[in-house]
Amino acid sequence: MVNHCKTGQNGLKQQDVVVVMVPLPAQGHLNQLLQLSRLVSSYNIPVHYVGTTTHTSQAKHRVQGWDLLAATNIYFHSFKIPPHQTPSPADSNLSNRFPSYWLPAFNASLNLTEPVSKLLHALSIMSRRVIVIHDSLMASVVQEVGVISNAESYTFHSVSAFTIFLYILEQMEKKPIEYSNVLIPDEIPSLEGCFSLEFVDFMKSQYKYHKNISGKVYNTCRVIEGDYMDLLERQSKDKGIKHWALGPFNPIKLNPEKKRSESRHSCLEWLDIQDNNSVIYVSFGTSTSMNEQEISELAGGLRKSKQKFIWVLRDANKGHVFNEVRDVGRGKLPKGYEESVKEIGLVVRDWAPQLEILAHPAIGGFMSHCGWNSCMESITMGVPIAAWPMHSDQPRNTVLITKLLKIGIVVKDWERREKLVTSGIVEGAVKRLMASKEGDEMRKRAAELGSKVRRSTGEGGVSLREFDSFIAHITSTRR
């Protein structure tokens, strides 16, 4: 799709169309836009992935399901930013678990504006068109797009279409969207406790720059959220803003021949000897640490359930992740715990290859914080979810997963988020998902939905058609 190229004096190659990805420096955001880079580059379009030196390294280090070295037309631009202090994560406040320690890195990343602007101008000289896909919370970094005649920008929303729709609905008291034919649960979790006040201010500061975008892209597909994509399109029809469901971003087929690879994580070897659908995977992402009491209750519940489990127990990404990719957690378990559960469980202390774990046939459930990246990976692999929301969009993703898609159960009730999840609650949830008729039915629904999503990315599928349409749109000769 891209014409032949030649190298100019600035070292950049002359191209027909180039795409620039600008992620927010948080793991779920970094990962989603790197996965999207893979998909765009498969159309023979050069992709320039930009970020801070450390976060670009972090994103590359944690790639799963595909060979980054084989992607010859993805170019990484790592820029230095001023040093900043990152406070340690707070564990004890159960009513607001939002990771406020993110803010120094987010604010520091806004210093990317100047180097990114220089890159955009350089690319605009060497290309017919420059397409910028930026995280919704990095809009100020790409504001120079507005003065480059052959550049246009698309906002990437890292959350579900359902979550975005609810936000818009709550802001439109006078002119509500007509949605009578779309299912909206009566009880929607409030945003109280989802964010810190500082982060709300940060979001507002970035949304001021969402004025001249050409469209919005989402890591979802119409098989999952078609109704909500339709509502978003209807809401912005008069503004001429297009909405694109380009997901799933993550690979849907993993290489089974990797079994004997030396680089394969040891937890996958353990899963190899377990029965199909017999193991629940427990992981709460990279943004929140549990305190000692929470860990003790979760540990006790998993043991009492007598169901097989693999538990990724690690601290949230802390300050050292901005200097090197090293984030081994050391959550304190009850004395002798790992020995006592060795017949049924495995505790993983470092970062784990989540996508490969979810794709393993031994996995029959996923106890998750319900971050959207994790939700999409779990849906794609056909794995039902035991939802334990912590902050941000996670409580509302829980509603989508459990009440609308009906492929999960609630472990932590958001309206009682200040209450400790006891070992009894954990035990009951694990048994319900892994050892009951209800759980079997959820597993069947999740498998069917996962199969539909995977088929949608194949020839003639709705997701592939949408992606083809997006590529045709950004590479057309319109203007």
Q: Which pLDDT score, from 0 to 100, does residue 85 have?
A: 63
Is residue 4 assigned to a domain?
A: no
The answer to whether residues 314 and 351 touch, using CB atoms and an 8 Å cutoff, is yes
Is residue 324 assigned to a domain?
A: no
Q: What's the domain range around 278?
A: 261-318+331-455
Is residue 281 assigned to a domain?
A: yes
46 and 57 belong to one structural domain: yes
Q: Which pLDDT score, from 0 to 100, does residue 26 have?
A: 87
Q: Which pLDDT score, from 0 to 100, does residue 411 have?
A: 97
**Beta-ladder partners of 218:** 157, 245
The answer to whether residues 53 and 263 touch, using CB atoms and an 8 Å cutoff, is no
Q: Which pLDDT score, from 0 to 100, does residue 200 have?
A: 92
296 and 441 belong to one structural domain: yes
60 and 177 belong to one structural domain: yes
Q: Which pLDDT score, from 0 to 100, does residue 255 have?
A: 64
Q: How far apart are CA 207 and CA 448, in angstroms?
A: 37
160 and 234 belong to one structural domain: yes
237 and 307 belong to one structural domain: no
Q: Which pLDDT score, from 0 to 100, does residue 3 have?
A: 34
Q: Which pLDDT score, from 0 to 100, does residue 262 have?
A: 58
pLDDT values of the chain reduced to their tens digit, one per residue, 479 residues: 333 243 333 445 667 999 999 999 988 899 999 999 999 999 999 999 999 888 888 888 888 788 888 888 999 998 888 776 665 555 545 567 888 878 888 998 899 999 999 999 999 999 999 999 999 999 999 999 999 999 999 999 999 999 999 988 887 654 555 665 677 777 889 889 899 999 999 999 998 898 889 999 999 999 999 999 998 998 887 777 899 999 999 999 876 555 555 578 899 999 999 999 999 999 998 777 788 899 999 999 999 999 999 999 976 655 444 443 444 445 689 899 999 999 999 999 888 899 999 999 999 999 999 999 999 999 999 999 999 999 999 999 999 999 999 999 999 999 999 999 999 999 999 999 999 999 999 999 999 999 999 999 999 999 999 999 999 999 987 65
Is residue 373 assigned to a domain?
A: yes
Is residue 5 assigned to a domain?
A: no
The full length of the chain comes to 479
**Catalytic: 61?**
no
450 and 469 belong to one structural domain: no
Chain centre to alpha carbon of residue 395:
15
**Catalytic: 29?**
yes
246 and 268 belong to one structural domain: no
The answer to whether residues 157 and 228 touch, using CB atoms and an 8 Å cutoff, is no
Catalytic residue among 91, 135, 315, 393: 135
The answer to whether residues 202 and 137 touch, using CB atoms and an 8 Å cutoff, is yes
Q: Which pLDDT score, from 0 to 100, does residue 469 have?
A: 96
364 and 468 belong to one structural domain: no
221 and 361 belong to one structural domain: no
Catalytic residue among 29, 55, 134, 369: 29
Cα torsion 204, 109, 318, 350 to 10°: value is 110
53 and 22 belong to one structural domain: yes
What CATH number does residue 155 fall under?
Answer: 3.40.50.2000
Is residue 8 assigned to a domain?
A: no
Q: Which pLDDT score, from 0 to 100, does residue 320 have?
A: 45
Quote the number of domains for the chain.
2
Is residue 22 assigned to a domain?
A: yes
81 and 132 belong to one structural domain: yes
Is residue 11 assigned to a domain?
A: no
Tokens encoding 271: 């899963």
90 and 150 belong to one structural domain: yes
Q: Which pLDDT score, from 0 to 100, does residue 11 have?
A: 47
